[in-house]
Structure 1
Amino acid sequence: MSAGVAEQIFPTASLSLLDESLELVTKVPLTRFDCPEAQEILPQLDALITGWGCPLLSADVLERAPKLRFALHAAGSVKHHITEAVWDRGIQVSTAASANAIPVAEYTLAMILLANKKVLESSAALYRSEGTRVSPTSLFPGLGNYSKNIGLVGASQVGRALIKLLRPFKFNVLVSDPFLTQEEAAQLGVTLMELDGLLAASDVVSMHAPSLPETRHLINKERLALIRPGATFINTSRGALIDQVALLQRVQTGTLYAVLDVTTPEVLEAGHPFYSEPNVTLTPHIAGALGVELARLGTSALAEAGRAARDEPLAFPVTRADWDRIA
C-alpha cells in the first residue's frame, strides 16, 4: 500500500500495540513487489498485510515469498490483487470488509431515520417558505419512523451490520437475497422476500448487493415502478446496480426520493440532472471508512494477523468458493 494509506490505516499508536506473537518486518510499507526492498523483505514473510493499491500477488511474486501463508487485506475487496496463484498455493486470505461495513451501515441508518421523518424534504420546504409557516404533516401525512417497512437488497456484510443497527427501532425489516435461507433470516430477525415483493412493500429501499455482471441494473425501470409513492431509495453500494436513466425519470415524477452515495460514473458530469433534482440527495462516496474510521480497518487486519500467528482460525476469511458472489 502507499505510505499515505498506511499512515491512515495504521496510526503509530496501533503499531505500538502489536500482539506479542507478531514480529513486524518493516514499518515502511512496500508499494511495489519489483523493488530492492521487496527482494529483501518478501522471503521473510509469513503474512502480508495489504491495502488499497496493492499490486497483484502473482505467481512470480509468490515465488519470491516461499514462506508466505497469509494475505490479510486491511480494506474491503480483495479482487484487485488476489490471483489464482494465491489459491493454488493454499495461502489463506482475509479482508476487513466487515470493519468497513460499520460506517456504511451507520450512514444508511442515519439516512433511513431522516428519510422517514422527511427531514430533508421539510428543510427544503422551509427554505422555500420565505416566512410562511410550514406544516410537515400537511405536506407529508405519513411521516415518521414508527412501524415503517425497511427493505434491504442484499444480506451482505453491510446489510447484516445495518440489520443490527435497526434492531432498537420499531421497524419491519425485509430482506431480499438469493443466498439467504429462511432459517438465517429468522436468526437475523428479518422477513425474507422476493425482490419485487420487497420493493412494493417498503417505505425505504436500501441497496447492499455486490456489483457483479449478474447484478448490473438489478433495479431497472420496471422494478423502480414497483416502489410505492413517497418512498425513499438509498444506494451506498455501486451505481451499476441501478438503471440511472430510469431512476431519474422516476424521481422527476415527484413520487420517489433518492439518496445516492454512489453513481455511475462516480463523479457525474457537470450539468447532470441529479445535481439540481430536488428529490435527490447526493453525497461524494462518503459512507465507507474515511478519516478516523480507517484505523478500524488496520485494527481488524492486525487482529487477523494475531490469530494467524497463534494458529487460530481467521475471523474474516475469503475463499476461492466466495469469488463469484463477492464484489
Structure 2
Amino acid sequence: MAPKVLVSDKLSEAAVQIFRDRGIDVDFMPDVGKDKEKLAEIIGDYDGLAIRSATKVTEKILEKADKLKVIGRAGIGTDNIDKEAASKKGVIVMNTPFGNMITTAEHAIAMMFAVARQIPEASASTHEGKWEKSKFMGIELTNKTLGVIGAGNIGGIVCERAQGLKMKVIAYDPYLSQEKADQMAVEKVELDELLARSDFITLHVPLTDQTRNILSRENLAKTKPGVRIINCARGGLVDEEALAELLKSGHVAGAAFDVFSEEPAKDNPLFHLPNVVCTPHLGAATTEAQENVAIQVAEQISNYLLTGAVENALNMPSVTAEEAKVMGPWIKLAGHLGSFIGQMTDEPIKAINILYDGVAAEMNLAALNCALVAGIMKKVNPEVNMVSAPVVAKERGIQISTTSQDKSGAFDGYIKVTVVTGKRERSIAGTVFSDGKPRFIQIKGINIDAEVGAHMLYTTNEDVPGIIGTLGTTMGDYGVNIANFTLGRTHAGGEAIALLYVDEPVPAEARAKLAETGLFTQIKPLEFDVA
C-alpha cells in the first residue's frame, strides 16, 4: 500500500505534485491545520504530515497519530511541533534550513535601502498629495561601513551583497575564523569596534543565551552617532525601549525591523517613530522561498517514506534502522563530547579532529561525526541539526578530520575529539559502558570516569588539599545536591580537574563564591541534553 501524506497548511501545488509523481497518496487540506479537533480526528490515517507554521503539532495530536512516521516543516522554525512528544512517539521531525537564506538576506538589504532613503514615509507623504523633497533627505550606501553581527549563512550573503554596493563590510562573529573572513573579504572585528565604526548595523544571529539583548542599552550607547540599525533575524536581540529613546534623541538616525520581541507585534516602542521601518516578519515571505521550502520538504518526506533516507532531521541521526540499535548510545556520546567542547570554547574553531577507537571505529562514522559536530555547533546556532552542522562548520572554514584505529587500550572502543583554535587545543574522550550510558573518560589528557548529567560543573585547579571540601561545602551552602563527583590530575601537585554532576544548575552566586577562594583557575557550568 502506498504511503499516505497529509498537507495541512498552504503549501505550493508543486510540492503536492511531487508526492503524486513519487506514487504517494496525498491529501491537500490547507485549512485543516487551523482546526485542532479535525486534525486530531484524521491524523491517524497518515504516514506523513507536511506543514508550515499554522499547524500546531501538539502532544494531543501526536497521541492520535498511530501511523505517523515523519513530520516535515517547510521552513526553519519548528516551535509549532512538540519535538519531545514526537521523539517519544517515534516520529521523525524534519525542517528545511536552507530554503530562505537568500530571501531573508535580500529583505535585510531592502530594509537598509528603505531606512537610508526614508522610502516608506516619503511614499506615504506623496500618496497624500504632498511634495516634501526637502523633508526626506537621505544618505548613500556607497562607501558607508556596514557592521554585520553574525556572518553565517544569511549574514554571509548580506556581506556579499553589501560589497556589491561598494560598502565597507566589517563583521563580528566569535566563531568566524580569520581564514574564512579573508575568503569573504570582510574585516573581522570585536563587537565594541563594530559598534563604534558602523554607519549601518545588521543582525544575523539566532536568539541564544549569548546573543539575547546583544544590542543592549549599554551597547547601543557605544554606537556611532547617526547609525542605522536593521534587524531581520530574531526578536529579542535588541533592547527596543533603549533603541526608541536613542531614536528620539537623534543618536540613532533610523531603524528597520522585521522581527520583534513579542509577535505578533500589536504594540511596540518602535512603532510610530519617524524613520523607523517595520514589516511583519516578512524575511522568508517571497514566492521563490516558499516554493523552495515546499518542494524541499516534499522531497524529504518522500525520500524517507519510500527509501528510509533521513535528511535535515532534528530529532534523530541519519542512520539506517539496523544501525540505530547499536549506535544509539554512541550517537548520544558523540553529541555529549561535542557539547562539552562547544560550551568550553569561546574562540573561533579552526579544526575538529576526531579519533575513533575499537568498536566505535566499526560504526557509521559519518553519522557519529554529524552528531559530534552538531554538539559543538549548537552553541553557535541552536537550530543546527545533524545534517546541517557539517555544512555550517564548512561555511565557517572549519576543517574536520577523522581517524580510526583498532582497539588500543582498556576500553572496547572510545571516541576522542580535539578542537584546534588560534590559541589552544582542547580535547575530551568518552566511551559507552555495558549499561549503555555514555561516560567521559579523559579531559585535557587527564583520565577520569564521569557519568554525563543534565547539569554539571567543571573546574580546574592546582592539586592542593581542600578542593573537595570547598566544592562540597559551597554546593551545600547554596542548596545544590551533588549526584556524582569525579576528580583527576596529571600528577601529585600538578594540574587537577573536577567534574560535578548536580541535580540543578549551579547558581552564579555559588560560582562567584568558588572564584573568591582563589583556588580555581576555571569554573564552568555545563548543560547536556540527556533525554
What's the offset of the Cα at 1:295? 3.0
Alignment of 1:188-267 (within 5 A): 188-256=184-252, 257-266=254-263, 267=265
Cα distance in 1 for partners of 2:80, 2:378 equals 12
Secondary structure of the corresponding residue to residue 94 of structure 2: strand
Secondary structure of the corresponding residue to residue 276 of structure 1: coil
Secondary structure of the corresponding residue to residue 145 of structure 2: strand
What's the offset of the Cα at 1:107? 1.4
Of 17, 35, 43, 1:38 maps to 43
Cα distance in 2 for partners of 1:59, 1:178 equals 41
What's the offset of the Cα at 1:108? 0.9
What's the offset of the Cα at 1:311? 6.0
CA contact (8 A) 1:98 1:158 kept: no
Q: Deviations over 1:102-159 (max 9, x none)?
A: 322111112223445x4549949x98xx8787498xx66xx32223222222234432
185-194 or 248-257: bigger deviation? 185-194
Q: Aligned residue for 2:80?
A: 80
Query: 1:144 corresponds to which letter in structure 2?
Result: E
Of 369, 377, 382, 1:326 maps to 382
Q: Is residue 110 from structure 1 mapped to residue 110 from structure 2 by the alignment?
A: yes
Cα distance in 1 for partners of 2:131, 2:28 equals 59
Cα distance in 2 for partners of 1:169, 1:132 equals 27
The alignment covers a number of residue pairs equal to: 307
Cα distance in 2 for partners of 1:166, 1:292 equals 21
The percentage of counterpart residues that share the same residue type is 22
Q: Is residue 297 from structure 1 mapped to residue 307 from structure 2 by the alignment?
A: no
Q: Deviations over 1:262-304 (max 9, x none)?
A: 23334243xx663332232223333332567533321221233
Q: Aligned residue for 2:405?
A: none
Alignment of 1:12-23 (within 5 A): 13-18=14-19, 20-21=21-22, 23=24
What's the offset of the Cα at 1:169? 2.8
CA contact (8 A) 1:149 1:203 kept: yes
What's the offset of the Cα at 1:193? 2.5
180-189 or 257-266: bigger deviation? 180-189
CA contact (8 A) 2:45 2:67 kept: no
Cα distance in 2 for partners of 1:187, 1:19 equals 43
RMSD: 3.9
Q: Aligned residue for 1:166?
A: 162
Alignment of 1:54-203 (within 5 A): 54-56=55-57, 58=59, 61=62, 64-65=65-66, 68=69, 70-84=70-84, 86=86, 93-116=93-116, 118-120=117-119, 123=122, 134=134, 143-203=139-199
Q: Is residue 6 from structure 1 mapped to residue 5 from structure 2 by the alignment?
A: no
Query: 1:264 corresponds to which letter in structure 2?
Result: S
Structure 2: where are the runs of 5+ without partners?
A: 1-5, 317-374, 384-531
CA contact (8 A) 1:260 1:281 kept: yes
Secondary structure of the corresponding residue to residue 274 of structure 1: coil
Change (3 A) 1:6 1:35: closer
CA contact (8 A) 1:22 1:305 kept: no
Larger radius of gyration between Structure 1 and Structure 2: 2
Q: Deviations over 1:163-222 (max 9, x none)?
A: 343353322322223333333333444333222222222221011222234433221112
Q: Deviations over 1:216-272 (max 9, x none)?
A: 322111211222122210112233211112101111121311112223334243xx6
Change (3 A) 1:164 1:48: farther
What's the offset of the Cα at 1:74? 0.7
Cα distance in 2 for partners of 1:10, 1:122 equals 34
Query: 1:101 corresponds to which letter in structure 2?
Result: M
TM-score (norm 1): 0.74
Cα distance in 2 for partners of 1:168, 1:204 equals 16
Query: 1:145 corresponds to which letter in structure 2?
Result: L
Change (3 A) 1:92 1:169: farther
Cα distance in 2 for partners of 1:186, 1:87 equals 41
Structure ranking higher in helix proportion: 1
Q: Deviations over 1:12-53 (max 9, x none)?
A: x44224484451343336635973422222xxx2x5423214
Change (3 A) 1:215 1:85: same
Change (3 A) 1:6 1:241: same
CA contact (8 A) 1:5 1:52 kept: no
**Greater relative contact order (Cα 8 A, min sep 6): structure 1 or 2?**
1
Structure ranking higher in strand proportion: 2
Query: 2:213 corresponds to which letter in structure 1?
Result: H
Secondary structure of the corresponding residue to residue 53 of structure 2: coil
